[in-house]
Amino acid sequence: MTATSKIEPVLDVSNLTTSFRIGGEWYPAVRGISFSLQPNETLALVGESGCGKSMTALSVLGLVPKANGRVEADHIRFEGKDLSRLPDEEMRKIRGNGISMIFQEPMTSLNPVLPVGFQVVEALRYHQNLSRAGRERRALELLDLVKIPSAKSRFKEYPHQFSGGMRQRVMIAMALACRPKVILADEPTTALDVTIQAQILSLLNELKAETDMSMIFITHNLGVVAALADRVAVMYAGDIVEIAGVGDLFARPTHPYTEALLRSVPRSDRDTKTLYSIPGAVPPLTRMPKGCRFTARCELAVDICRKQNPPLDALAAGDAHSVRCWVRGNHDRAALKENADV
């Protein structure tokens, strides 16, 4: 599957900006990002803590806190509907039905005082025309599907009686309950140890192969990305700075941030004599620089980087690999000079 294939995307996000009001001013945490998701595709979102990965997913589902948050987009198109303009009531029907989310912390999203099986049955309640008995049967099937051992006898147990890995699998069962077209998985394996993580990744891969489900997988584990993704979007400080097919991204990391990130991972399959570290830190939301937001940490930065944020352009015409960088990207130099004077 490539980004250029002619199939209709299941999800198409255009120019999404999510801002927060901090001390009376609005600051964008996600700024004008666009991407689309093909049927049966897994798109990984990676990047430093705070770069806007969770907010991207929450914006799609209309779950950004309204108290101090604001979502704007040209469109967020899903099955012919623009989610960014959908009334709350309709949005609720999409959540868990057409699109479902696996939240990072399973304990906070499961109700501790309700039996696990009951919660899966509840997840089915609003969305399917099933009888009570039918819902219970389906819930049990789902728990078996995510390999909860002896699911039948554990149906009435409470979340605290399940291990972390099992709770995470219950969350996945609930997310799958209504056969969603799209799953948004926010760090679903970060809290797990490697053997359980491997199990969940293989489960997700298997489910994807069996249905035509698509997935946005948020993580900062590049090993997990390599194991699972079809395409990868690298985010930095609210921007997508590079997007490419998974093979291409690892073979030809082009944005200086992507390149530095890959060099910063110690690998278990080979010796690392010296580990690269990116100096400095991401600037806070309230003090973002004017130009490229990576400038202060970038070894390649030139004058224009400090003045103007580069566009996200394909490396070659028709290439599915795009990069947002004045030095490494492929930009029309003439236009660039013109703009630089502004």
Ligand X SMILES: Nc1ncnc2c1ncn2[C@@H]1O[C@H](COP(=O)(O)OP(=O)(O)OP(=O)(O)O)[C@@H](O)[C@H]1O
| Closer to Mg ion by Cβ: residue 124 or 175 | 175
Residue 306's nearest CA partner among 277, 327, 320, 285 is: 327
Task: Select from 28, 41, 46, 53 the one that contacts ligand X (CB under 6 A).
Answer: 53
Q: Could you say which of ligand X, Mg ion, other proteins, none residue 227 binds, taking C-beta under 5 to 8 angstroms by partner kind?
A: other proteins
| Binding status of residue 277 toward other proteins by CB under 8 A | yes
Other CB atoms closer than 10 Å to residue 231's CB: what's the count? Answer: 24
Spell out, one character per residue from 258 to 297, where the chain touches ligand X: x when CB under 6 A holds, - when not. Answer: ---------------------------x------------
Residue 310 is given by DSSP the state P
β 214-218/231-236 pair status:
unpaired
Q: Is residue 174 exposed (0-12), middle (13-18) or buried (19+ Cβ within 10 Å)?
A: buried
Q: 171 is written with which tokens?
A: 């969350």
Chain residues binding Mg ion by CB under 5 A are 54
One-character DSSP codes across 4-27: T-SSPPSEEEEEEEEEEEETTEEE
The span from the CA of 14 to the CA of 94, in Å, is: 19
CB of 218 to other proteins, least distance (A): 12
3-state percent breakdown (helix, strand, coil) of the chain, nearest 5: 35, 20, 45
Task: Select from 91, 226, 285, 314 the one that contacts other proteins (CB under 8 A).
Answer: 226
- The length of the chain is 342
Task: Select from 29, 45, 176, 225 the one that contacts other proteins (CB under 8 A).
Answer: 225
Q: 39 is written with which tokens?
A: 């049927």
| Closer to ligand X by Cβ: residue 35 or 155 | 35
Task: Select from 7, 22, 114, 194 the one that contacts other proteins (CB under 8 A).
Answer: 194
Within 104-163, the residues that bind ligand X by CB under 6 A are none
| Binding status of residue 254 toward ligand X by CB under 6 A | no
Q: 311 is written with which tokens?
A: 């566009």
| Binding status of residue 255 toward ligand X by CB under 6 A | no
The span from the CA of 323 to the CA of 306, in Å, is: 17
| Closer to other proteins by Cβ: residue 147 or 306 | 147
Count of residues near other proteins by CB under 8 A: 45
Spell out, one character per residue from 127 to 166, where the chain touches other proteins: x when CB under 8 A holds, - when not. Answer: --------------------x-x-------------xxx-
Within 10-39, the residues that bind ligand X by CB under 6 A are 20, 22, 29
Phi, psi of 49, deg, nearest 5? -50, 130
3-class secondary-structure state, position 299: coil
Residues making contact with other proteins (CB under 8 A): 48-49, 147, 149, 163-165, 192-199, 201-202, 220-227, 229, 246-247, 250, 260-262, 264-269, 271-272, 275-278, 281
Site for ligand X, rule CB under 6 A: 20, 22, 29, 49-55, 65, 68-69, 220, 285
